[in-house]
Each structure stands twice: as structure tokens, then as C-alpha cells.
Amino acid sequence: MRNIQMSLLCVGICILVSGAKRVDKGEPEVALPEPVAAKTAAEVTRLSVDDKKPEVRNKIVVGGEGENAVASLTDALKKAKPGDTIILAKANVKIPSLKLARTQFKDLIIEGTTHDGRPTVLEANGNLRFLINVDGIESIRFKNIEFDGAGKSDHCLQVSGAAPGFTVEGCTMKGAKTAAILFVNAAGTESQPLLLDKVRFQLQTRQTAVILETTGQNDTRRLTIRECRFEGVGGQVGKGIRFEAATTDVEISNNRFFSLESALYFGKPIAKTIKAQIASNTIYDSRTGLEFDLNNLAANAFDLTVRQNYFGKTPQVAQGNGGKGAVPGVTADTNAFGPDSKPGNVDLKLSQLDKPLLPAPEANNDATFLRFAGGQPELNGKKIGAP
């Protein structure tokens, strides 16, 4: 028995020695992962727009300190590369007109910081055509900035060309002489639309929040405007959104329009069609909800769906200039008006909803501003108005 045990022990030792020799002869071992290097202060982890894998985003700070700090937004843009983030650390940044190059600023973020409860103010430093011109740039995003044309700039932002992923999020727009944002032949895609999300527009007389224009036979495509606030300052002034040309796949949803001359204006497209959905918006204390130019209207001018909108304290819910009744190409479904509104001369198949009523608007309380206290009311089993 003892001899058998000794034999087995010898066999085991031989196997171990043999295995060690195989390693020495160069056969691969399983390597342990290398330790992850610490990121510098100028880097931040993010998800790639294209592949959703973590990657490093370089940060350039306007008005900050350190190797990536610069004095002005102009300097930051000279230094920026695709995929960078520019942080506006100052409370107020004055700029000239800036036109951004197509290739250099792909996937760029320009983001403000908060000072005494107010975001960074980006302000015109003189009489300008625009503060920033975005021409065919993919996935450029603006966050937490108050754009102020200061009565000197025609526009805060001008957007044109193929710009999938263009986004304005959580910003305020005011002071532009003509329109806060001008889209000219701008185009998103189905997966990356042009997007205005939770933007607050403050308008005065003869000012418009958003204008959609075109040149030639082009149109503005794949634009989503959602959960925004459009407010006239001083009582029923300014226009919310002006359709001045043909559009394709434009969605206006879950927005709140207050104290405007008109919330939405539809001009006559030339040779093409305005295609849009107007859904689940609240329009309140405005002269006109939807305004149409019906003079010499082409049969294919509109392909509009207007549904589940609520109109309160609006003397003309839908008004046609140069025509009345049902508008060709406009499909209306489950729209309601309060007891203090009137339908106007364009038929949107409205239903009167006496209750509930909207609470008195408090502009500084976004949680209650033009929101029904108990949530959206229902009409024919469908929720109406902005959530």
C-alpha cells in the first residue's frame, strides 16, 4: 500500500513539473486587467452618440482655471475638436456673430452654469444678424444657457442644412429682434431629429420664437418641439411658431403658449406642403390659437393633424385670413376650449369643456404654470392639453 502511495506522489510531481515547463516554453497565460488610469480634470465620461460605449469627452472652460481654461467663447471654439464640451463658467458672456464650421464641431456641447439661480447669459455685443449660426453640423447641443439678443441681434440661433441631432435643451431665449431661432432648409433624421426640448421663449411686440423658412424647393424636415414655454411679455404680444414654408415631419407637442398675439401661424407654402402634427398643447390668454393665411390657397398647401389641444381665454381658437370653415388638408380630432374661449372662423371640430379650469398662471412656478391641478382632463377617453 505504501509503495502505491509513493508512486502516485511521484506521478503528481511529474505533472506539476511538466506544466511549469510548458509555461516556460512560452504558452500564453491569462493576464490580469491593467488598472484604470485616473481621469484628468479636463475629462468626463459620457456615452457616445454613435455607439453608446463609454468614452472620454474633453472639457474647455470659458472663464475657468487650468490648462483647458480660456477667456472667451471665441477662444474656446478655436480650441474645440469634435466631441468636446465647452463649459461657460461665467455669469455673462458677450459674443459677436459666430458661424460654426461643419466638420470641427460635430457632437459639440456648449453648456452654461448656474449663477444665483440663473443660467449663463449669452448676449449680443452689438448689432448682429445672429448670435450663433449652425450650418450643417451633426449632434451639436446647447444646454442651460440664456440666449439674449438684447434687442440688437435679429436671431439668437440660425440653423440650416443637414443637422441631425441638433438640440437646444433647458435654455431660455429672449431679446431677438425677429426670431429667437430661425430654421432655413434645416433637416434632422428619423433617429436624430432637430430638437427643442424644455426651452422657454420670452417674447415682446413683433418678435417670434421660431420661424421655419426655406430657399428654393427645399423644406425643413424632422423637427420636434416639445415641452417648451412660449410667453408674451407685456400682454398678448409676439408669435410662437411661424410656418413660412414647406415642412416635413414636424411635431409640436406638450407645449404651453401664454399671452401671445398668436400661438401658431401657418403661411402659404410655395409649390409644396406644410406637413406637421400639433398635439397635446395648451394655449391660454392669447388673441388667436392657430392662424392661417387662406388667401388663394393651393389644394395641397396643408397636411396637418391637430389633436388633443386645449384653448383657454382665447377669443379666436382658429382664425383664417381670407377664408373660413374647414381647411383642406387639416385633420382635427379631440380639441377642447374653455368657457372663456370662442372657436373662431376655422373649424377644428372643437368641444367645449367647462371644467376643470386652469389655475391662475404663475410664471415663476413651472410646476403649476398652465398645468391642470389634477392632471390632464379627458375628452372622449383621450387626455387633452399639455401634461
- Among 231, 297, 233, 242, smallest CA distance to 264 is for 242
Q: Are 163 and 141 in contact (CB under 8 A)?
A: no
pLDDT at 157 over 50: yes
As to burial, measured by CB atoms within 10 angstroms (0-12 exposed, 13-18 middle, 19+ buried), residue 281 is: buried
Average pLDDT over residues 52-76: 86
With H, G, I as helix, E, B as strand and everything else as coil, classify residue 47: strand
Q: What is the pTM of this model?
A: 0.85
Confidence band for 65, pLDDT divided at 50, 70 and 90: confident
Q: How far apart are CA 194 and CA 168, in angstroms?
A: 9
Phi, psi of 336 (to 5 degrees): -135, 150
**Given a cut of 90, is residue 115 above it in pLDDT?**
yes
Out of 40-44, 98-102, 121-125, 381-385, pick the least confident: 40-44
Determine the Cα–Cα distance for residues 90 and 71; give it in Å rounded to an integer: 10
Report yes or no on 128 lying in a domain: yes
Cell of 118: 440663473
For residue 38, being part of any structural domain is answered with: no
CA atoms within 13 A on the CB side of 78: 8
Is the pLDDT confidence value at 22 over 60? no
| 219 within a domain of the structure (yes/no) | yes
* CA distance linking residue 51 with residue 149, whole number of Å: 37
Q: With H, G, I as helix, E, B as strand and everything else as coil, classify residue 334.
A: coil
The number of domains in the chain is: 1
Enclosing H/E stretch for 68 = none
Decide if 289 is inside a domain: yes
Q: Is the residue at 8 inside a domain? A: no
Interval 346-383: pLDDT, tens: 999 999 999 999 999 999 999 999 999 999 999 999 99
4 — pLDDT class (breaks 50, 70, 90): very low
Q: Which three cell numbers stand for residue 372?
A: 391642470
Which of 233, 291, 284, 235 lies closest to 262, judged by CA?
Answer: 291
Phi and psi based region of residue 57 (left: phi greater than 0; alpha: psi -120 to 50; beta: remaining): beta
**Within-domain flag for 19:** no
Q: Which domain holds residue 265?
A: 94-104+116-360+367-383
| Burial label, 297 (beta-carbon count in 10 A; 0-12, 13-18, 19+) | middle
Does 333 map to a domain? yes
Ramachandran category for residue 265: left, alpha or beta (phi over 0 → left; psi -120 to 50 → alpha): beta
User: What is the percent of the chain with per-residue pLDDT over 90, rounded to a whole number?
Assistant: 78
Instruction: Tell whether the model's pLDDT for residue 189 goes beyond 90.
Output: yes
Residue 40, pLDDT > 70, answer: no
CA dist 302 → 185, 294, 306, 329 (Å):
18, 11, 12, 5
CA 181 to mean position of chain CA atoms: 11
What does the mean pLDDT of the chain come to? 88
- At residue 171, does pLDDT exceed 70? yes
CA distance 194 to 155: 17
Asked if residue 51 belongs to a domain, the reply is no
DSSP3 helix / strand / coil % (the chain, rounded to 5) = 10, 45, 50
Going by pLDDT thresholds of 50, 70 and 90, the confidence category of residue 102 is confident
Per mean pLDDT, which range of 33-42, 171-180, 235-244 is the poorest? 33-42
Give the span between the Cα atoms of 181 and 250, in whole angstroms: 15
Q: What is the pLDDT of residues 204-255, one digit of tens each?
A: 999 999 999 988 778 999 999 999 999 999 889 999 999 999 999 999 999 9
